[in-house]
Amino acid sequence: MRFRYQIILGTLLLILIGFMGQVGFAQTQSPPNVQSQEPTSILFQNVQIFNGTAEQLSSPSNVLVVGNKIQKISPESISVPLGTSVTRINGGGRVLMPGLIDAHTHLYWENTPIETLISPNTSVEALDKAVEITAKNMLLRGFTSARDMAGPVFKVKKAIDEGKVVGPRIFPSGAMISQTSEHGDFRVLSELPRTPTTPLSRGELMGAGVIADGVDEVLRRTREQLMQGATQIKLAAGGGVASSFDPLDVSQYTESELHAAVEAAASWNTYVAVHAYTPTAMQLAIRAGVKAIEHGHLMDEATAKLMAEKGIWLVMQPFLDDKDAIPVLESSRSKQLQLFQGTDTTYTLAKKYNLKTAWSTDTQFDPRLATRQGAQLAKMVRWYTPAQVLKMATSTNAELLALSGPRNPYPGRLGVVEEDALADLLLVNGNPLENIQLIEDPAKNFVVIMKDGKLYKNLLS
């Protein structure tokens, strides 16, 4: 009986195969899972494009994204191959632009008050969770890339890249390297003197900053950041506002110490950026071979000329004595006011000498201030046109990110809407070239947010 059933089943199977061949079934059906293996396609229809470099918008156009890149841009209809799964987004004449880039962030402590950050009662796990929320909120404000200039963000960067956490592309520096008593030294006096057996401070254990004195220690600490995946290196070369023991006018590190970091970074085909405000600190760092000055708010004309001659980047923030001022201790308030007085002068010199100028926020320790990332970009119209501001926060900042060379973890072009560029895109409900204040309210005005070809927000079906 069992043998008879096998014969019957075999006969039915042969009949079915023959029928499939007669109707061409095998030729017209895809093998299982083939379609799911194809790159996803998203078609933006009827959009005006700010491409990240031009001073004006394009005529109504269509943009096809396949996988994580922009495949085609055309004023004509774009056909999608039959059988391809495509999400169509009717832009209705809205503006499509590159994702925004913040060139100096601190994701690890942007939202966390300094008292919480340094408290031994705050667990590392709590801080890790907080930075995940920070990263997600930053992306949903339209910032698809962030150059993190001090902090232990390697773990969250990895989680974002693996799709486990939502957030921007991160270009990490790792811990800021500082000499004893200077901008990255947040120890209290009771922790001195330091001996070979002295435990590391909380900031060093966290990976927020490291203390390095002398060429050998600078080399070691620089290489440790590179080992962890730093895309660029950050050193403190001058006095700071948030730090307690260093006056604003002091220079930090000798030229040989700074040059040691530059050589170590160069051996990994990347570069060194330094925290510096004063002409003396900036010029010392430039002589040592650094490629970027972070801040520079007390720049003078001689320093601006030197930076122009050497092609040094100026990574500025629009620091003013307004509601976007970073909260500081009362003892640091006079230093902060001194910086505010130099902001207008530095931007004036940057424009006069056509310096490579990047825009950034450097937000720290304030959840309210973190939400004003777009507003801090919009206030740049005090010195530049809206088109210049948006270009700075897209294609210009992308040039700075590319300075990491082979250490760049995201090969491809960022900051532009061009064919074959990485698909980091925003669809804006209005024209930011005419009304840059639109970017102050991303929840309302960014109706689509895309990073790496994936939709993280889409209010248009």
Structure confidence by residue, pLDDT tens digits, 193-241: 776 777 777 677 777 789 999 999 999 999 999 999 999 999 999 988 8
User: Cα separation of 355 and 314, whole Å?
Assistant: 7
Tens-place pLDDT, residues 294-330: 999 999 999 999 999 999 999 999 999 999 998 887 7
Q: Which region among 22-26, 394-398, 444-448 has the lowest average model confidence (pLDDT)?
A: 22-26
Structure confidence at residue 189 as a pLDDT band (50, 70, 90):
low
Average confidence (pLDDT) over 74-98: 92
Catalytic, 234? Answer: yes
Which is more confident, 432 or 11? 432
For the stretch 383-426, pLDDT in tens is 999 999 999 999 999 999 999 999 999 999 999 999 999 999 99
Q: Which one from 102, 148, 185, 234 is the annotated catalytic residue?
A: 234
What pLDDT was estimated at residue 344? 97
pLDDT 10s digits, 232-273: 999 999 988 877 777 788 888 999 999 999 999 999 999 999
Question: What residues pair up with 90 in beta bridges, in sequence order?
Answer: 45
Is the backbone of residue 46 left (phi > 0), alpha (psi -120 to 50) or beta? left
Residue 9: predicted pLDDT: 38
Annotated active-site residue in 102, 185, 324, 362: 362
Model confidence, pTM: 0.89
Percent of the chain residues past pLDDT 70, beyond the cut: 89
Residue 441 bears catalytic tag: no
Per the model's pLDDT, the better-predicted residue between 284 and 117 turns out to be 284
Round to whole Å and give the CA distance between 39 and 59: 28
What residues contact 51, with CB distance under 8 A and at least 6 apart? Answer: 58, 97, 98, 416, 417, 418
| Cα(327)–Cα(171) distance, integer angstroms | 25
For residue 123, the model assigns a pLDDT of 80
More confidently predicted of 37 and 103:
103
Quickly state the pLDDT bin for 20 (edges 50, 70, 90).
Answer: very low
- What's the maximum distance between 2 C-alpha atoms anywhere in the chain? 101
- pLDDT at residue number 22: 39
Q: If you average pLDDT over every residue of the chain, what do you get?
A: 88
pLDDT of 187: 66
Confidence of residue 365 (pLDDT cuts 50, 70, 90): confident
Provide the pLDDT for residue 39.
59
